[in-house]
Homo-oligomer: A and B are copies of this chain.
Amino acid sequence: MIQTPYLLFLGDAPDQLAAKVAQGIKDWRPDNAVGQFRMEGCKADLKLPDMDLAAAKEAGAKTLVIGVANRGGVISQAWKKVLIQALEEGFDIASGLHNLLRDEPDLVEVAKACGRTLHDVRVPSVKYPIADGKKRRGKRLLAVGTDCSVGKMYTALAMDREMKERGMKSSFRATGQTGILITGDGVPLDAVIADFMAGSIEWLTPDNDEDHWDVIEGQGSLFHVSYSGVTLALIHGGQPDALVICHEPTREHMRGLPDYKLPSLEEVRDAALLMARVGNPDCQVVGVAVNTQHMSEDEARAYLSEVEQRMGLPATDPYRFGCTALVDAVAAI
C-alpha cells in the first residue's frame, strides 16, 4: 500500500506524453495529487501547483511518485539528486519504471538510513495464495479485450467513477503498474509467478458487501498468444459476474503479432463467457467499450450503433461518450 497523497515527479519529461502515468493519477485520483515537481527543461505540465519538496511536505504529500518515463532506461544523476533529497526529507518513493529503485544502491542506502520505503510497483510485494475458487460475497466486473491496449484500464476506471457518482459501492482493482500508481494498491499481474496468478486476483477481490462491485482492470486477451494465460487467470481468479468487452476497431493485427488478426466481438464474448462460467455460472456480458480514437465522430457513432444492433448489448466509447449505458447494465444485475 502506497501512502497518499502524492507529489508527482515529472523530472525532465521531454513532452506531455512522457508524463502519462502522472496524468492518469491526476485525472483519476485528483485528491491523491497535491502538486507536481518539474525539473529544468521539463516539457510536461499537469496544471497542478509546482512545488518543491518542502512545499509538498507542508501540503501533506507522503510519497514522491515517479510519474514519467525515463530516457534510455537509466535513472539519471539529475533525478537521483532529487530522489535522495526526497527520501531525506521524509518522502517514500514509488515507481513503475522497468529499472527498479531497489537496484540503485545509493537509493537503498538512503531509504534505509531515513526509514523510508521504495515502492517498485512492477514487482509483487505480497506472497499470494494459490486460488481456491471459493465463491466470494459481493459483485465483480472484469474488462476483457479483443487485444492488448484497447482501453481496458480506462474503461474500468471510468465505470468505477460513474458507479461511485451514482452512490453505488465500487472499488477499482488495479492489475498493472499504472493502475497501481493511480490507486496506491493492486497486483502487478504480469510479474506474478504462474501458479499464483489466479490466487493473486482472489486476494485482490475478497469478500465484500453483497452490493459492492470490484471493477477489475483487465490484461491481455484470450486471443493474444503472448499473454492469454494472464487473461484466463484474471477471468478465473476474478470470478466476474459481469464482463465488458473492450475493442479498438481500426487495428489491423494483434498488438506485436503481425500474423494474427483480431477476433470478432462474438468470438471474444463466447470464449470469455465459456471460461468465466467455469468459476461463476451466472456471469454475463453487459456491454462493449470501444476505443474510437481513430474514427471521426460520425464513424464512431455509426460503428457503436452497428455493434449494439449486432450484439444486443450497449456499446459506447467511455472516453468520448461516457459510460452511462454500461453502468446502467451493471446496475440492473
Binding site for B on A (CB under 8 A): 71-72, 98, 129-135, 189-195, 197-199, 222-223, 225-233, 236-237, 254, 256-257, 259-260, 263, 271, 274-275, 278-279
Contacts and interface: CB of A to CB of B under 8 A. Distances in A.
A223 B278 CA distance: 6
A216 B134 CA distance: 31
Q: State the oligomeric state as a number of copies.
A: 2
B226 A199 contact: yes
Contacts of A254: 133
Nearest to A235: B228
Given A225-B237, A228-B198, A259 B133 contact: yes
Nearest to A225: B236
Nearest to A221: B278
Nearest to A263: B278
B195 A191 contact: yes
9 contacts: A133-B226, A135-B259, A194-B197, A195-B227, A198-B225, A198-B229, A228-B278, A229-B232, A229-B236
A226 B131 contact: yes
Given A71-B130, A132-B256, A271-B274, A228 B233 contact: yes
Contacts of A199: 226
Contacts of A274: 271, 274
A194 B189 contact: yes
Contact of A194 (B72, B229, B260, B263): B229
Contacts of A189: 194
Nearest to A271: B274
Nearest to A274: B271
A243 to B, nearest CB: 16
Contacts of A278: 222-223, 225, 228, 260, 263
Contacts of A225: 131, 133, 198, 236-237, 278-279
A261 to B, nearest CB: 10
Contacts of A233: 194, 228-229
Contacts of A256: 132
A98 B275 contact: no
A132 B254 CA distance: 11
Nearest to A278: B223
B132 A257 contact: yes
Contacts of A190: 193-195
